[in-house]
């Protein structure tokens, strides 16, 4: 009777470990950066070094601007100023990448 209980407990632990490992692997393949809030005010274009679009796997599509100070600021890609900035950086051959 004791060996049956032990086998059931070990089987349950192996099952739980397998589920946990699977969840961890799925999480590691997720996007690196996603935007959950967007900048309320327009950023000064002269303070921005580059931009990157968030991954299509993010729940909210966004644009990440990296500033001179090293900050990353999320912006709404449907805002006209964001579109203007992206066009400007594309024209001046600034580095653009998908996250």
Same domain, 66 and 91: yes
Same domain, 91 and 68: yes
Domain that holds residue 76: 45-98
C-alpha span between 40 and 71 (Å, rounded): 16
CB 63 within 8 A of CB 50: no
Whether the model pTM is above 0.75 = no
Task: Name the domain count of the chain.
Answer: 2
List pLDDT tens digits, range 46-92: 999 999 999 999 999 999 999 999 999 999 999 999 999 999 999 88
* 82 in a structural domain: yes
CB 75 within 8 A of CB 29: no
In the prediction, which pLDDT does 39 show? 94
Give one DSSP letter per residue of 18-64, joined into a string.
HHHHHHHHHHHTS-S---SS--SSPPPGGGEEEEEEPPTTSSS--EE
């Amino acid at each position: 009777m004791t060996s049956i209980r032990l086998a059931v407990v070990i089987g349950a632990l192996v099952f739980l470990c397998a589920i946990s490992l699977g969840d961890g692997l799925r999480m590691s393949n997720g996007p690196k950066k996603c935007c959950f809030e967007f900048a309320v005010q327009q950023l000064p274009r002269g303070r921005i070094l580059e931009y990157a679009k968030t991954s299509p796997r993010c729940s909210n599509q966004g644009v990440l601007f990296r500033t001179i100070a090293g900050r990353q600021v999320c912006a709404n890609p449907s805002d006209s100023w964001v579109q203007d900035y992206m066009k400007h950086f594309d024209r001046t051959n600034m580095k653009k990448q998908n996250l």
